[in-house]
Amino acid sequence: MGLYTFLAPEVIFGQDALEQVGKSLVTLGAKRVLVVSDPGVMAAGWVDKAIPGITEAGLDYKIWHDITSNPKDHEVHKGLEKYREFECNAVLGVGGGSVIDMAKVIALLSSNGGDIKDYEGADKIQRALPPIVAVPTTAGSGSEATQLAVITNSERKMKMVLGSKSLIPNIAVIDPRTLTTKDRELTANTGFDVLTHAIEAYVSLASNPLTDVHALNAITLVFKYLPLSMSSNSNLEAKTAMAMASLQAGLALSNAILGLVHAMSHQLGGLLDMPHGEANAILLPYIMEYNLPAAIERYGTIAQAMNLNIQGLSSREAAQKAVDAVRQMARDLGIASNLSQVGLDIRYLEQLSDNAMQDVCLLTNPRDVSRKDVLELFKAAY
């Protein structure tokens, strides 16, 4: 085993963790806080529940929630204007991956300047960021634990991936109660995002023993609890399990990075503005089959983590069973089975393939990928 590092934020996890937000900000030296959220989370009341702790801690705050899903570059600069206008020195993100990624990049530009496009790629951040506290509300992106942020380039209609350990939030405050206001469709899509993170991190070329533990446990939790979480918003056991799965998958992906599913799904999100988890769910079975020859033993271990009966099966049969289980789960959860069902025009497949070949996530995919391979996979998933 070669040299590796493992990066993680401080984590506060459990029911009523939301009440710790104010104290968390104070410990980081916050005085004036930009609270970043989105209209859906605002309507669900979770920002309102965070505010008392902020005021009790003696902090001033400004709420900004003018964000869409798959956050855009022009939205970043609007948020930065609010940060500077209120003379903030800390950022609190309350929401899903879009919100937390937005909080990260507002913090980034506040101290580093320039344009968000300047930071696409890895390790381009030169100056320290102001404190960031992340409160995830979707059990999906794992952004509360990662060194990544994904922002849509609205001109190119492509997602830009920014990577730096500076983007890891200082503190992740994870309260499973925030998952009780999600609808079934969002629960399914975000849950599949968790599963994709865990599977891609586990078979990644950069995986290591620390990422493996988190990835496999996340897979086990998703297969056991995602259907239960979809079935009942009052099932706090299921919500808590999915919150943990999202955190662990986030820790795994942040340190092992991802693979071909995300290289392709990023392009779909940039072009169609479709839910990221839905894109992952459609692509994941096809790409697992493509990667299978390079990761047969690991897929067999994934099948075990899914609690599938693989006794007496060959390594390849066990690996294939994991692929089949992922495809069946997507069906069971009512997720679209192909890209034509989500309104993709077949004429875009060439462009999507070109763009996917530029995505940083390809670097850690277990099997080499050519542009022709990507195009064939897009066609198969269409």
Domains and CATH numbers, the chain: 10-178 (3.40.50.1970), 182-381 (1.20.1090.10)
Determine contact, residues 30/131, Cβ cutoff 8 Å.
yes
Per-residue pLDDT of the chain (382 residues; tens, 9 = 90+): 578 899 999 999 999 999 999 999 999 999 999 999 999 999 999 999 999 999 999 999 999 999 998 899 999 999 999 999 999 999 999 999 999 999 999 999 999 999 999 999 999 999 999 999 999 999 999 999 999 999 999 999 899 999 999 999 999 999 999 999 999 999 999 999 999 999 999 999 999 999 999 999 999 999 999 999 999 999 999 999 999 999 999 999 999 999 999 999 999 999 998 999 999 999 999 999 999 999 999 999 999 999 999 999 999 999 999 999 999 999 999 999 999 999 999 999 999 999 999 999 999 999 999 999 999 999 999 9
Q: What separation, in Å, do the N-terminal and C-terminal C-alpha atoms of the chain show?
A: 39
DSSP-derived letter for residue 138 is S
Please give the single-letter amino acid code of residue 294: A
- Which tokens is 62 given? 């400004």
The pLDDT of residue 167: 98
CA distance 197 to 193: 6
Closest of 24, 248, 247 to residue 137, by C-alpha: 247
- Which tokens is 295 given? 């990761």
Instruction: Output the pTM of the full model.
Output: 0.96
Burial of 176 (0-12, 13-18, 19+ CB in 10 A): buried
Determine contact, residues 260/290, Cβ cutoff 8 Å.
yes
DSSP-derived letter for residue 128 is P
- Which tokens is 150 given? 């994904």
- Strand, coil or helix: what is 226? helix
C-alpha 187: how far from its chain's center? 13
